[in-house]
Amino acid sequence: MNRRDALQRAALVLGYAVTGPALTGVLQGCKATPELPFKPVFFSEDQARLIAALSEIIIPKTNTPGAIEAGVPGFIDIMLKEIYTKEDQDKFLNGLDEFDADARETYGDSFSSCTTEQQKAFVKKHHDAVFSGKVEGASTGWWNAGGGGEKPFMLKVKELTILGFFTSEPGATQVLQYNPVPGPFKGCVPLADVGKTWAT
């Protein structure tokens, strides 16, 4: 559905025609933008929205918190600013720009402005391309062998998302096993007795 169709449907719901200035604004690209879940210190606001949407698709909210609720987008933002070298920052941002440009070419809009269904399909397409060897550097199998090419953008984001989530309080205490005051060490315990991986 394009903007004009959406406006016509909205007008029908409201029972009247959309006024000239409102119509002009929307057709020229004015639209509501997703709320930022954190205040970025490295990313621009548009980049921060993209990272937030992307990380939430990688670890969505279920019966446990998702990436956004666990503070993962802010974690990625701080990691890039404080830990990454300038070269690695630039590579990450170039990958992010290419990812968003592909979304615009595919759907006619930025990734963060796409529908949830479009975002999920788009992430799956990029994720599958990495593991099928269709992304430069991916076919070398560097993630198994420890070298051989630049890590694809999708895996950089996935790595940071998983790291941020499982080092957050919700990830460590609600998803992983956590015992702030551990008891005696038991070296051989059936996994069924534990239930899930330990955070510490």
Buried-state track 37-57, b at ≥16 Cβ within 10 A, e below 16: bbebebbeebbbbbbbbbbbb
- Give a yes or no: residue 200 inside a domain: no
DSSP secondary structure, the chain, as one string: --HHHHHHHHHHHHTSPPPHHHHHHHHTT----PPPSS--SSS-HHHHHHHHHHHHHHS--SSS--TTTTTHHHHHHHHHHHTS-HHHHHHHHHHHHHHHHHHHHHHSS-GGGS-HHHHHHHHHHHHHHHHTT-STTGGGTHHHHS-SSPPPHHHHHHHHHHHHHHTSHHIIIIISB--SS--S--S---HHHH-S-B--
Domain count, the chain: 2
Does residue 107 sit within a domain? yes
Please give the pLDDT value at position 30.
45
177 contacts 196 by C-beta, under 8 angstroms: yes
- 13 and 78 in a single domain? The answer is no
One domain for residues 55 and 150: yes
Tell me the two tokens of residue 152: 């694809």
Judgement on whether residues 1 and 78 belong to the same structural domain of the protein = no
Looking at per-residue pLDDT, the higher value among 196 and 39 belongs to 39
Do both 10 and 56 map to the same domain?
no
Q: Give the confidence band of 22 by pLDDT, cuts at 50, 70, 90.
A: very low
Residues 105, 160 within the same domain: yes
Is the model more confident about 72 or about 132? 72
Phi–psi pair at 190, nearest 5 degrees:
-60, 140
What is the pTM (predicted TM-score) of this model? Answer: 0.68
Q: Say if residue 132's pLDDT is above 90.
A: no
Q: 190, 84 in Cβ contact below 8 A?
A: no
Query: Average pLDDT of the chain?
Result: 77
**What domain range includes position 55?**
33-194
Whether residue 21 sits in one domain with residue 87: no
- Cβ atoms of 152 and 137 within 8 Å: the answer is yes
> What is the pLDDT at residue 198?
59
